[in-house]
Amino acid sequence: ARVLMRQQKFDEAAMEYDALAAQSENEFLMQQGEAGQLEAWRELGILAEKQKAWEKELEANAQNPKLIGRLARLYERIGQREKAIQLYEHRRTTEPDNIDHLRSLATLYTAAKQTEQAIATLNTLLEKDKNRARVYQKELLDIYLAVDLKDEAIAAAKAIVGLAPSDPEARLHLAQVYDET
């Protein structure tokens, strides 16, 4: 599909990306397919038409989690952050344990400068997804530093060190936080 895009064979590339986006075995490949679809549709001049079709389909079937997620990712990728947040929040209420949607929501909240919501969502992720705790703590650290919450920043930096005590980068973050506060 990427080769077809480079060759400017957008119709053929869109078909390949459609197949990737339609599969449900691998979330990463599905999202790559969706991203490719959007780019191919943009090049073909039919992105707005596809967006309207999905919105109409969602009106008819408002509880379809796959469609909600797909449209939320579309909004996210084309810069309609508020619409994406609304759909991800809806998905959070219907699928509270879906970590992928919580991650997307945390990213959107952070980008939209919705600090309280970003912090709350990242704390929820810390509880639900221990494997990525260090990543979430680093994101919290960045938010705390950005809004000048010094005590919280120190606590987040200490938590990062606690998760990886022998990691020099973790200790560097803590030292930098102490230096900045």
**Alpha-carbon gap, residue 163 to 181, rounded angstroms:** 22
DSSP 71: H
Q: pLDDT per residue over 49-69, tens digit each?
A: 999 999 999 999 888 888 888
**What's this model's pTM, rounded to 2 decimal places?**
0.78
Q: pLDDT per residue over 75-124, tens digit each?
A: 988 889 999 999 999 888 888 888 988 999 999 999 999 999 999 999 99
Q: Taking residues 159-165, what's their average pLDDT?
A: 93
- Alpha helices in the chain, H assignment, sequence order: 2-6, 10-22, 27-44, 47-60, 65-77, 81-94, 99-111, 115-128, 133-146, 150-163, 168-180
